[in-house]
Amino acid sequence: MNPRILDVGNTAFTVEFGNLISPALLAEVNALDAAIARERGNPAFAGIIETVPTFRSLTIIYDPLATSRETLESALQGLLDETEHAPLRAGRHWRLPVCYGGESGPDLDHVAAASGLDTREVVALHAETEYSVYMLGFLPGFPFMGDLPPALHLPRRTEPRVRVPAGSVAIATGLTAIYPWESPGGWHLLGRCPVPLFDARCPAPALLAAGDRVCFEAVDSATCSTIAADCAAGRIDPHRWCIAEATQP
Amino acid sequence: MNLFEIKSAGALSSIQDAGRRGYRRFGVPSAGALSTPLMRIANRLVGNDEHAPVIECFGGGLHLVVREGSIRVALTGDATAQFSREGTKTPLAPWRSTTLVAGDELRLQGSGRDRAVTLAVAGLDCPRQMGSAATYARAGLGGQHGRPLAAGDSLRAAEPPGTPEQVLRKPPAIDRGASIRLVAGPQADFFDESALARLSASEYRISSEADRMGMRLEGPPLAHRDAASREIISDATVPGSIQVPGNGLPIVLLADGQTAGGYPKIATVISVDLPLLALRRPGDPVRFSLVSVAEAESLARSEEARIRALLAAIVPLAEDGIDLEALYAGNLIGGMIDALSPEYRTLT
């Protein structure tokens, strides 16, 4: 199927591969993103400022003084063919510590009641599922991860919180995420992850990347605080929770 | 050493520049000046690179004092400011550069008809993070220790350039009632057929919920096609994206806006008009009109030519002190500049 091209003003446009959250669409998004990155020296692609991959589309941001939508769209046509049936990039595997429930996860009881499970079952189900990182966005380093087991699918809170603490591990619809920064938010809070997900000093400042796989390990609140303090003081490199490097497909 | 201290930061004063590029994929907004034309002109007036960091001030209230050495400053926008030296207070006009010496104080009294004005300082020394000095406070990036300016902050600047103070004799005429031009999409098809027509035929008003992230508009609600069209699978946003949540009231994202969102976006403000919209104040009316992508690209090129002509029109202040041309230009625009006022003389 041909992707749709959507207008985003005079400085961007979006190549949309479909209208659902699926690893196959993500693979196409990432393949087009990688293909454009490869063409950086090609004058036909000059004027691209950056690209933004999301669940099922890639947004190309350009300088209208250096190129035009028409030029870029025709340059892209050649790349679109090779993105079809692209394999999903095999990312790194992570096991991140989470302190579930209590002050760290004020919605755990509600989620258990709403899903007809007890809190231990919710924790086990959430921690043991292996998630894919679909995209980063909303906040710096914020990973949208899926897919949540169907038993834990819940709509967003009807009253979004004004203040979700940094580190909150949250779920909504079929997704789970970690808030790297304090922010307003409408997701259900299950726990807290003490590992910082964003470091401005790194060339790739987000700890996680699209295509990475993530599962969780329940830890008690004392361990959680110790890890947070060690990370803040630079005694622990957050990459220690990476349990397997990326494999080439 | 040239050092100045912030005595008061006013409502919100932050260091901004042309913004970050290349980090939206990590969820990091571009940030940067709400009005790049004001930033570029202010920088050129003090002899900086056009895209150097400046101080963006919301409303009045910024108060600074030169502690050591001297600094050269320039205000752009509808600014009213005062400068005091040894107890004598004189107005500090925008659109010109002025050299302040140790002990001098600068007070920004107001931003007039605009939400924000720009203050450039020659050789303002601020660290860059991820390629930019722009303040993005949520993630502690750029600016003064990752935050907006606060009373007590000390900032360093380069030695003022040896060249004379500069002036832009004919400041840009800003049409504050101009309709803001939009390109429809990316999700115009998520709305009722009448929604785009309603958006471009109605008057909206900027609500009090307006900051650097975005502005909520009040006016006729825009109907989604159906209940299922009130949300999308989150995709990328840009500064200028017009999101419409379930209540039908548009939200325009600005420089600090989030990089992705789950509300359908009915249209995007074109690059030329975004600074004009971003500078409007809560309560101000807004009208929109639709253009094509090709028209908007062509408008971007003519706007760039206009800004370059403004930059090229910056000239040294007359050596004899009184700059008649500036006075005439000021009178044409403001209609009430006193011909004998000292704003357009060099300070000696």
CB pairs under 8 A between A and B: 148
Write the residue in B141, B259, B304 that is nearest to A52 by C-beta: B259
- Residue A171 placed within a domain: yes
- Residue A114 placed within a domain: yes
Distance from CA of B244 to the nearest CA of A (A): 15
CB atoms near residue B44 (< 10 Å): 23
Distance from CA of A213 to the nearest CA of B (A): 17
Segment A200-223 shows an average pLDDT of 94
Closest by CA to B64, choosing from B3, B117, B106, is B106
- Which domains, and CATH codes, for chain B? 2-167 (no CATH), 180-301 (2.40.100.10)
Per-residue confidence at A160, pLDDT binned at 50, 70, 90? confident
Mutation choice for A interface testing from B292, B297, B308 by most A CBs within 10 A? B297
Closest by CA to A190, choosing from A106, A96, A97, is A106
User: Per the CB < 8 Å rule, is B294 touching A52?
Assistant: no
A142 shares a domain with A31 = no
A238 shares a domain with A128 = yes
| CATH number of the domain that residue A36 is part of | 3.30.1360.40
CB contacts, 8 Å: A187 with chain B: none
pLDDT digits (tens, 9 = 90+) for A75-119: 999 899 888 888 877 899 999 999 999 999 999 999 999 999 999
A158 shares a domain with A180 = yes
Integer Cα distance of B264 and B232 in angstroms? 6
| Residue type (1 letter), B79 | A
Q: Which residue of A has its CA nearest to B261?
A: A138
Q: Are B252 and B273 in contact (CB under 8 A)?
A: no
φ, ψ of residue B136 to 5 degrees: the values are -130, 95
| Residue type (1 letter), A76 | L
- Residue A88 placed within a domain: no
Distance from CA of B346 to the nearest CA of A (A): 37
Orientation angle between helical segments A69-83 and B293-312, nearest 10 degrees:
130
A99 shares a domain with A32 = no
Write the residue in A11, A56, A141 that is nearest to B26 by C-beta: A141
Write the residue in B25, B296, B301 that is nearest to A52 by C-beta: B25
CA dihedral sign, ordered B55, B56, B60, B61: negative
How many domains, in total, are found in chain A? 2
A136 shares a domain with A47 = no
Mutation choice for B interface testing from A4, A10, A134 by most B CBs within 10 A? A10
Write the residue in A10, A14, A142 that is nearest to B186 by C-beta: A14
Write the residue in A10, A61, A136 that is nearest to B296 by C-beta: A10
Burial string for B298-316 (b: 16+ CB within 10 Å, else e) reads bbbeebeeebeebbeebee
* ipTM, 2 dp: 0.94
Domain final residue pick, A45, A60, A83:
A83
A100 shares a domain with A35 = no
CB contacts, 8 Å: A141 with chain B: 26-27
B31 Cβ contact partners less than 8 Å away, ≥ 6 residues apart: B16, B19, B20, B132, B134, B135, B136, B141, B142, B212, B255, B256
Per-residue pLDDT tens listing for chain B (348 residues): 899 999 999 999 999 999 999 999 999 999 999 999 999 999 999 999 999 999 999 999 999 999 999 999 999 999 999 999 999 999 999 999 999 999 999 999 999 999 999 999 999 999 999 999 999 999 999 999 999 999 999 999 999 988 899 999 999 988 999 999 999 999 999 999 999 999 999 999 999 999 999 999 999 999 999 999 999 999 999 999 999 999 999 999 999 999 999 999 999 999 999 999 999 999 999 999 999 999 999 999 999 999 999 999 999 997 655 555 555 555 444 444 444 455 565 554
A164 shares a domain with A110 = yes
CB contacts, 8 Å: A49 with chain B: 21-22
| Predicted pLDDT at B347 | 53
- Residue A22 placed within a domain: yes
CB contacts, 8 Å: A185 with chain B: none
A101 shares a domain with A79 = no
Quote the domain boundaries for residue A149.
93-244
pLDDT digits (tens, 9 = 90+) for A21-54: 999 999 999 999 999 999 989 999 999 999 999 9
Segment A220-249 shows an average pLDDT of 91
A112 shares a domain with A234 = yes
State the distance between the two ends of chain B, measured CA to CA, in whole angstroms.
21
